Amino acid sequence: MHYISDLKFLISSLQGVARVRPNAWLRISGPDAAAFLQGQCTQDLRPLIEGQTAEALWLTNKGRILGESLVLRGDDDVWWLWSAHTSGDTLHARLEDFIIADDVTVSPEESRWEQITLAGASAEAWLREALGDREPPAPGTWQGLGGGMVFAGRRGLSRVWEWLRPHGDAPDGSAPRPPDSLGELSPTALHRARLAAGVPAIPGEFGPQDLPQEAGLETVAISFNKGCYLGQEVMARLHAMGQVRRRLLRVGGIGPAPAANVEIRQNDKRVGELRAVTDDGRDGWLGLALLNLLGLDSSASLVTADNHTVHTLDPIPS
């Protein structure tokens, strides 16, 4: 029996509201903030104006991934970094390590702000009303709301917004509150939708041993037209080569989910590993697997070390 999963349904069915402390929310300020960030991350930040955002990676000198973040351009000399999976401590340490004579201040703000994640059509309608009948921000932009910032921050997920706002009500009482009728957005539902979209958690599921191109991140978070940054030489070389030997693919199967990080084999040969896995809410499981492309036989079965049959849900690159 071939495994079939409705990946689009797992993404489009997200509904509700979740309130958590931000995983990473950093304020970067000072006269040198723009130039400093430009020289550290993979994205070209020069075109950004206030109210715009961009996905960026933070690499080692060998081009491996330390973290990812959304970069938000604030007013004057203020920038913000947000990440769903890379910790604020990791991003803070990464930036502080390279501040030498730069007039820039990096301030972790996770404890002072709350993160409200809104998903689904009902949440979208409420958000539109809260924004004064304006459309909720599209990817690449943010809007002010209740003393905070609203943006589409969950890569790969549609109709999902993050509202970062200071703890407590705004002094003028202008901060609206999402009604309980919108329902609760569970971490499990977000996790399933993220894997269905093929988006790994960085660096927990894809990170220090991996290259951005192995997860297709060069199309969303890397500029090949900007100046120097840590890891740029490796990125340029891989861009010229045009192909990597490994690829992160969506996979799934029937029955109980296998263990994460388990080896995947084909014809008794190791061909990769399962990086992330969850049950699909029905009778099977889905996940992300990093597979070696060299010698991979698209017609032969893939099996985990704990004897689960693996079906690839993405085409295997030739």
Strand pairing class (53-59; 65-73): antiparallel
pLDDT at 191 over 90: yes
Helix (H, G, I), strand (E, B) or coil at 169: coil
Cα–Cα distance for residue pair 98/39, rounded to 1 Å: 10
Radius of gyration of the chain from Cα atoms? Answer: 21
pLDDT tens, residue by residue, 262-288: 999 999 999 999 999 999 988 899 999
pLDDT, tens digit, 9 for 90 and up, residues 71-105: 999 999 999 999 999 999 999 999 999 999 999 99
Q: Please check the confidence at residue 62 and state whether its pLDDT lies above 50.
A: yes
Q: What percent of the chain lies above the pLDDT cut of 70?
A: 97
pLDDT in tens, 200-238: 999 999 999 999 999 999 999 999 999 899 999 999 999
**pLDDT for residue 40 is more than 90:** yes
Percent of the chain with pLDDT over 90: 86
pLDDT of 1 over the 50 cut: no
| pLDDT of residue 116 exceeding 90 | yes
pLDDT in tens, 122-135: 999 999 999 999 99
CA distance 51 to 11: 26
> Sheet of 53-59: strands edge to edge?
53-59, 65-73, 78-83, 24-29, 105-108
**Long-range Cβ contact pairs of 314-318 (< 8 A, separation 24 or more):** 314/198, 314/249, 314/250, 316/247, 316/249, 316/291, 317/243, 317/247, 317/293
pTM metric for this prediction:
0.94
Specify the pLDDT at position 111. 96
**Residue 254 DSSP class:** E
How confident is the prediction for the chain on average, in pLDDT?
94
